[in-house]
Amino acid sequence: MLKPEFTAGKTDWFVHDRFGLFIHWGIYATAARHEWVKNYEKITEEKYQKYFNHFDPDLYDPDAWAKAAKHAGMKYAVLTTKHHDGFCLWDSKLTDYKATNTPAGRDLLKPFVEAFRKQGIKIGFYHSLIDWHHPEFPVDFNHPQKDDEEFKKKETNRDIKRYAEYLHGQVRELMTEFGKTDILWFDFSYSREQNGMKGKGKEDWQSEKLLKMIRELMPDIIINNRLEITQDIHTPEQFQPREWVHVDGKPVVWEACQTLNGSWGYHRDSSGNFGDNYLVWKTSEMLIKMLIDTVSKGGNMILNVGPTARGQFEPKALERLRDIGEWMKLHSRSIYGATQSEFKPPQDCKFTQNGNRLYLHIFSWPFKHIHLDNMADKVEYAQLLNDGSEIKIQGHDLKGEHSSLSEKIDSKILTLELPIQKPDVVVPVIELFLK
- Of the residues 137, 264, 266, 351, which one makes contact with ligand GLC according to CB under 6 A: 264
Number of residues near ligand GLC (by CB under 6 A): 8
Nearest to ligand GLC of 35, 131 (CB atom): 35
Taking CB under 6 A as the rule, which mask of x and - marks residues 308-347 in contact with ligand GLC? ----------------------------------------
Q: Scanning residues 293 to 312, which ones bind ligand GLC (CB under 6 A)?
A: none
- Is the Cβ–Cβ distance between 142 and 199 less than 8 Å? yes
Nearest to ligand GLC of 188, 351 (CB atom): 188
Nearest to ligand GLC of 14, 359 (CB atom): 14
- Of the residues 26, 28, 35, 204, which one makes contact with ligand GLC according to CB under 6 A: 35
By CB under 6 A, tell whether 140 contacts ligand GLC.
no
- Of the residues 74, 167, 257, 321, which one makes contact with ligand GLC according to CB under 6 A: 257
Q: Is 404 exposed, middle or buried (0-12, 13-18, 19+ CB in 10 A)?
A: exposed
At closest approach, how far in Å is the CB of 90 from ligand GLC? 17
At closest approach, how far in Å is the CB of 259 from ligand GLC? 8
At closest approach, how far in Å is the CB of 22 from ligand GLC? 7
User: How many Å is the Cα radius of gyration of the chain?
Assistant: 24
Strands 357-362 and 349-354: antiparallel
Nearest to ligand GLC of 202, 396 (CB atom): 202
At closest approach, how far in Å is the CB of 237 from ligand GLC? 4
CA 159 to each of CA 108, 166, 180: distance values in angstroms, whole numbers, following the listed order: 30, 11, 32
- Is the Cβ–Cβ distance between 123 and 115 less than 8 Å? no
At closest approach, how far in Å is the CB of 96 from ligand GLC? 23
At closest approach, how far in Å is the CB of 127 from ligand GLC? 10
Nearest to ligand GLC of 109, 349 (CB atom): 109
Q: Scanning residues 197 to 256, which ones bind ligand GLC (CB under 6 A)?
A: 237
Nearest to ligand GLC of 35, 431 (CB atom): 35
Q: Scanning residues 162 to 201, which ones bind ligand GLC (CB under 6 A)?
A: 187-188
Nearest to ligand GLC of 304, 394 (CB atom): 304
Report the Cα 120 to chain-centroid distance in Å: 18
Nearest to ligand GLC of 163, 264 (CB atom): 264
At closest approach, how far in Å is the CB of 35 from ligand GLC? 5
Nearest to ligand GLC of 24, 361 (CB atom): 24
At closest approach, how far in Å is the CB of 105 from ligand GLC? 26
At closest approach, how far in Å is the CB of 428 from ligand GLC? 32
- What residue ranges bind ligand GLC (CB under 6 A)? 24, 35-36, 187-188, 237, 257, 264
